A and B are shown apart, each in its own frame.
Chain A
Amino acid sequence: QKEVEQNSGPLSVPEGAIASLNCTYSDRGSQSFFWYRQYSGKSPELIMSIYSNGDKEDGRFTAQLNKASQYVSLLIRDSQPSDSATYLCAGVTSGTYKYIFGTGTRLKVLA
């Protein structure tokens, strides 16, 4: 069973701190990874995608991929209360178009 695992949380961080969200995956064939943010009652919204080992930065967000250790992480710098949401990690094996989603980590940013 190919899986993507995330800690369900909630992860609570104070406003202005760095939030670190982690995800591990079991399928070594997974090559592309995606982070989605989902507010309560809304649909998932794409935040970051990453394909290569290392870090990828976009504004306050940094995605990190380590294929040898099979983990993906998302760092949110200067966390804001508006970042409070569930963050979904997904992996896909190149060319298959079948996403495997984790169950999500609920983030709470405390004002």
Chain B
Amino acid sequence: KAGVTQTPRYLIKTRGQQVTLSCSPISGHRSVSWYQQTPGQGLQFLFEYFSETQRNKGNFPGRFSGRQFSNSRSEMNVSTLELGDSALYLCASSLGAGEGLLQETQYFGPGTRLLVL
């Protein structure tokens, strides 16, 4: 079974631009979560989508948004980029329904490394 894939893997943008990152979950997984990872802040939760609906949200400004499609693929958009948005953006997928380790276990994609100049 193929793992979580993310595109692009690397991205360089300038301040003020916007960017869209894509995540394809493991087949059969309906939950996709997004994280920002920086050396100083560790792994910060952005949001989680399940069945095309945002189910959980972290404490990021509205410049960060996402969506999920009917095939469970998800995109994350960051508008008006700032230097501080430079980070590794990770998505993780899980089955997402019900309770228990099987349903809740998240698997991470390789990440998109974003550099804002």
Contacts of B107 in A (CB 8 A): 46
Contacts of B105 in A (CB 8 A): 34, 46, 49
Q: Given A96-B56, A97-B33, A99-B33: A44 and B108 within 8 A (CB)?
A: yes
B66 CB–A CB distance under 8 Å: no
A71 CB–B CB distance under 8 Å: no
Chain B interface SS verdict (over half): strand
Q: Given A99-B45, A101-B45: A43 and B56 within 8 A (CB)?
A: no
C-alpha gap A99/B55 in the complex (Å): 12
Contacts of B108 in A (CB 8 A): 36, 43-46
CB proximity of A48 to chain B, nearest CB, Å: 10
A98 touches B50 (CB 8 A): no
A51 touches B45 (CB 8 A): no
B81 CB–A CB distance under 8 Å: no
Mask, B100-117, CB within 8 Å of A = 1, is 110011111111000000
Contacts of A43 in B (CB 8 A): 88, 90, 108-111
Contacts of A101 in B (CB 8 A): 35, 42-43, 45
A98 touches B56 (CB 8 A): yes
Contacts of A42 in B (CB 8 A): 110-111
B50 touches A97 (CB 8 A): yes
- Closest chain A residue to B6, Cβ basis: A43
CB proximity of B17 to chain A, nearest CB, Å: 24
CB proximity of B99 to chain A, nearest CB, Å: 4
C-alpha gap A95/B98 in the complex (Å): 6
16 cross-chain CB contacts under 8 A = A34-B105, A43-B90, A43-B108, A44-B43, A44-B90, A45-B108, A51-B100, A51-B101, A88-B43, A92-B104, A94-B104, A97-B50, A97-B55, A98-B48, A99-B106, A101-B42
